[in-house]
Structure 1
Amino acid sequence: MKNFNEDDEINENELKNLIMMNYTLSLEREIEKLKNDAKKNNEKLNEGQELNKKILQFIYGLFHELKTPLNVIFSASQVMSLCTEYKNGGTLEKQSQYLKIIKQNCYRLMRLINNLQDLSKLDSGFAKLELHNRNIVSFVEDITLSLIPYAKGKGINLIFDTNEEEKIMALDYNKIERIILNLLSNAIKFTPEKGTICIGVEDKDDNVYISVKDTGIGIPEDKFKFIFEKFKQCDKSPINGKAGSGIGLYLVKCFAEMHGGKVSVKSAVGQGSTFTVKLPVKVIEEKFNKMIYSENMDEQLSIEFSDICPKI
């Protein structure tokens, strides 16, 4: 058997130290490499985010460029429409029909552009709330009353039902209006003739619940998981054979969440659907009571319902 002397023990300890030092240096080099890789990845990520921001800004600007000629076409069609109202004749009647087609498709394009514009704002972080105190009950009722002609035109009974008389709360007028119009547009799209749509408002536990209940075709349960996702579509409506863009319900969800609320759905195939928007009741301090109204309610309704109710 070999006997180790003192020098051998020193050499063995030195060897262990050298191995440890080598391991430590290798580990430090690996850590430094990982740090450098992480730094480069972060730089690439920042560059990607900056590029994405520029693209979104470009798209946002493009929406304005699209709206400009569209508004010119729409304005021209309105002027031509006014001219035909004071004259008779087969030629002018046909011209009037073509003008209605132009206006309806202008509304469709404006609806798509508005939705994409809102989507761009949300994705780029530019979407903001403009809150004002408003009676949510009368607000929803006014919108419902303005929609009755559209519902009647489709042979659908539209009802506003609530036990509440007044509930003042802070809301973004345009965004809550878009929520209600989107939900009602879907309800009309998927509800057959002689069906019923009921809009309700309930004040409960410091929250306001806005519900849109229809007697339409209903939604399969397997669609629930993605119904509020961006660009996700359910099947085409058997009522009019059309599917949406997959943006409307996503915007409903986002606008509700911006108010600190949420949206939910209950449905069964052949038994209709109920969409409920839950909004927390908050009141802000305003220096003066500034009432915000839609620029043109009739025009806003024509835009939102252009694909199902061409009321021009």
Structure 2
Amino acid sequence: MEYENIRKEFFSNISHELRTPINVILSAIQLIEVTNIPGKSQNKFVGKYLDTMKRNCYRLMRTFNNIIEVTKVDTDYYDINFQNIDIVDIVREVTEEVEEYIKDIEVKVIFNSKLKEKIIAADPEKIENIILNILSNAVKFTKSGGGGKIIVNVFEKEESIFISIEDTGIGIPEDKLDMIFEKFTQVNKSLTRNHEGSGMGLALVKSLVDKHNGRITVKSSLGVGSEFIIELPIRNISDEVAVEAINYNTYSNLYEKIKIEFSDIYGI
């Protein structure tokens, strides 16, 4: 147990230390981009490598963020800031932003909900992270260029809200379904896999869903597609218990989160 605590503390510290210089490099890249203006001082060769550098900075940030978040969960040092929020609005906004971001790869992202609004107690930032992570996985493993489809559906059943994210991707082998929510687990560990990843994303998703007293399940058929289903309890909290409400649309930097979350999908 002592060794495990030391290991977690090491990963957390090293992630913080590495994230700082990556942020400095990313800021320098963005500054250079400002001077590489199309039609004036643009250098396409420089622009190409700036894009590569920026995408890989985002990939590193994604890995560091996941390590830090998983470490916080494992050490039970993780705050969930419950607010009474419109879960339908948040899921819709994330889905529509992702649809716009990936429009060039011709994978359809469709949002469905018979519910116009549903207020439940949840942490909007953590819900955003959950949906983004599952959508990025769906995009990774759904063939682009026609026919690829991802459907996000929000519905109410009994005392729960369900968020279903279904894709027409490559699917998950039946013998791997029980382990995909374990840390550092990847369905395809070969060196030739098309998309990189640390194998921590879905483990973090499950932890965040658990922190909301919910549950997440997956159904999949190889070569047909996968469906992730998140179940969250319908409950509200009093103003005394809720953290101070922050304007979701004002303070949520969703586009930056999408760039980081989708950074390991080549070509986007």
Relative to the length of structure 2, the TM-score reads 0.90
Contact 1:236/1:242 (8 A) holds in 2 = no
Q: Counterpart in 2 of 1:209?
A: 162
- Report the 3-state secondary structure (helix = DSSP H, G, I; strand = E; otherwise coil) of the residue aligned with 1:282: coil
- Report the 3-state secondary structure (helix = DSSP H, G, I; strand = E; otherwise coil) of the residue aligned with 1:245: coil
Q: Counterpart in 2 of 1:82?
A: 34
Q: Distance in 2 between matches of 1:295 and 1:159?
A: 22
Kindly state the Cα deviation for residue 236 of structure 1 after the two structures are TM-superposed. Answer: 5.9
Contact 2:110/2:150 (8 A) holds in 1 = yes
Picking from 250, 262, 265, the partner of 1:305 is 262
The Cα offsets for residues 99-134 of structure 1, whole Å up to 9 and x where unpaired, read as 111110100000000001111111111112111111
Q: Counterpart in 2 of 1:158?
A: 109
- Report the 3-state secondary structure (helix = DSSP H, G, I; strand = E; otherwise coil) of the residue aligned with 1:85: coil
Picking from 20, 24, 27, the partner of 1:68 is 20
Q: Distance in 1 between matches of 2:193 and 2:85?
A: 36
What does 1:1-312 align with in structure 2 at a 5 Å threshold? 48-49=1-2, 52-85=4-37, 88=40, 92-193=43-144, 194=146, 195-235=148-188, 241-286=194-239, 289-292=245-248, 295-308=252-265, 311=268
The Cα offsets for residues 213-264 of structure 1, whole Å up to 9 and x where unpaired, read as 0111111111111111111110269x97124321111111111011001110
Q: Distance in 2 between matches of 1:56 and 1:271?
A: 38
Kindly state the Cα deviation for residue 151 of structure 1 after the two structures are TM-superposed. Answer: 3.1
Q: Counterpart in 2 of 1:25?
A: none
Q: Which runs of 5+ in 1 are unaligned?
A: 1-47
Contact 1:236/1:243 (8 A) holds in 2 = no
- Report the 3-state secondary structure (helix = DSSP H, G, I; strand = E; otherwise coil) of the residue aligned with 1:300: helix
> Which residue identity does 2:107 align to in structure 1?
I
Contact 1:150/1:309 (8 A) holds in 2 = no
More helix by share: 1
RMSD between aligned residues:
2.1
Kindly state the Cα deviation for residue 161 of structure 1 after the two structures are TM-superposed. Answer: 0.6
Contact 1:160/1:200 (8 A) holds in 2 = yes
> Which residue identity does 1:271 align to in structure 2?
V
Q: Distance in 2 between matches of 1:263 and 1:176?
A: 13
Q: Which structure is larger by alpha-carbon Rg, 1 or 2? A: 1
- Report the 3-state secondary structure (helix = DSSP H, G, I; strand = E; otherwise coil) of the residue aligned with 2:102: helix
- Report the 3-state secondary structure (helix = DSSP H, G, I; strand = E; otherwise coil) of the residue aligned with 1:229: coil
Contact 1:153/1:309 (8 A) holds in 2 = no
Aligned residues: 261
> Which residue identity does 1:223 align to in structure 2?
K
The Cα offsets for residues 144-180 of structure 1, whole Å up to 9 and x where unpaired, read as 1101123322210110011001000111122111110
Kindly state the Cα deviation for residue 97 of structure 1 after the two structures are TM-superposed. Answer: 1.4
Q: Which runs of 5+ in 2 are unaligned?
A: none
> Which residue identity does 2:180 align to in structure 1?
I
In structure 2, relative to structure 1, the CA distance for the partners of 1:86 and 1:243 (3 Å cut) is closer
- Report the 3-state secondary structure (helix = DSSP H, G, I; strand = E; otherwise coil) of the residue aligned with 2:206: helix
Contact 1:189/1:240 (8 A) holds in 2 = no
> Which residue identity does 2:126 align to in structure 1?
K
Q: Distance in 2 between matches of 1:69 and 1:292?
A: 29
Which protein has greater RCO, CA pairs closer than 8 Å, 6+ apart? 2
Contact 2:35/2:41 (8 A) holds in 1 = no
Contact 1:115/1:247 (8 A) holds in 2 = yes
Kindly state the Cα deviation for residue 85 of structure 1 after the two structures are TM-superposed. Answer: 1.5
Kindly state the Cα deviation for residue 86 of structure 1 after the two structures are TM-superposed. Answer: 5.7
